Structure formats: structure tokens, C-alpha cells
Amino acid sequence: MLVRSCGGGGDTISEPKTITKVVVRYDTVQTIVEKYIPRWRDRVITKIDTFSSPVDTIAILKDYYAKYVYTDTLRLGTVGYAVVNDTITRNSIFSRDVATNILVPTITQTNTVFINEREFYWGASVIGRLNQIDYLGGGLLYKTKNKKVYGFGAGINQNFQPVVSASLYWKIGK
């Protein structure tokens, strides 16, 4: 972004500061299972003329009226699985039950952009020679949006007289 200063000092390039926060939350999806009503699709009839061994009719009828329960687990990639339970009797599907466990990730990404926010700094300073203190005081710095820094300081000199200072700074590097 290119920003022009009001004082005619030329153009300055401002670099925005971006803070990205990513939150991943897994939500369980509730599925509504409808009652399954089986329907015929195709009927295949096998013709049998003769039997090579004796036929046990009671065993065939027991097998025909018995209930067989089949369970199949279907993996749904990385989001979960589904369990299908089928009950078969009299050569048809008697009942079907589907139970699912699906976790869908919800990704929330928040970008906060600060374009050269204003900042305040404060501090203390001591000026002097190796064996003598000439100045003791504190200061306040203010950084503007176009990266100029203004300073104001106050303190006392070696004769305990008040000293005031003002300063202005420009950014010289990247």
C-alpha cells in the first residue's frame, strides 16, 4: 500500500502487519435414518430337474425361516464411518439399520490486519562522562502511522536546572 504524507515529504511505503489465527473444530453430524422398505429388483429362478442326493425338506424350511444378521462397516475416508446392519429371512431383507459416526472439520480462519498502528514508548536517559553525570531525565516517544517518531524529554542537569528536549526520527531501513 502506498501512503502519501500531508507535509509534502514524499511517498512512503507502509507494510501491514497481519496476525492469522486458525481454529479447527470437529462437529459430529447427526444423520436422520429413514425406515428402509425393501423392494424387489430382479428375480432369478434356477431350474432344477433332478437331485443326485436325497433332499431334507425340514432342513431347507429351517434355513428358509431363520434370521441371518449381517454387519458391514463402511469407512468414509477421513471423516468417519457408517455401520450397516441387515437382517435377512425368507430370502428377503427383513430389516436394515444404519449407524453413522461422521466428524466434519469446521475451519475458522481469522485475519487481523494492523496497518502501521500508532505506538507510544517511554524511557529514562543518563548523559555524562565517566566520572560525572551531566543530565538525568526521562522521555516519551510517539510513532505515527507513517512511521515517523516524535520525542519529548525532561530532566535536570548537573546544576539541578530543568532541561527540556524535543526530537523527530525517520525510519531509514526496511
Instruction: Return the domain boundaries, the chain.
Output: 24-36+54-110, 116-174
**Grid cell digits, residue 169:** 526520527
pLDDT tens per residue, range 16-46: 677 788 887 777 766 666 666 666 677 777 7
Confidence of residue 137 (pLDDT cuts 50, 70, 90): very high
Alpha-carbon gap, residue 130 to 159, rounded angstroms: 17
* 50 phi and psi angles, rounded to 5 deg: -135, 160
Confidence of residue 153 (pLDDT cuts 50, 70, 90): very high
**Grid cell digits, residue 89:** 429371512
Task: Give the dihedral sign, CA 123/127/133/135.
Answer: negative
pTM: 0.40
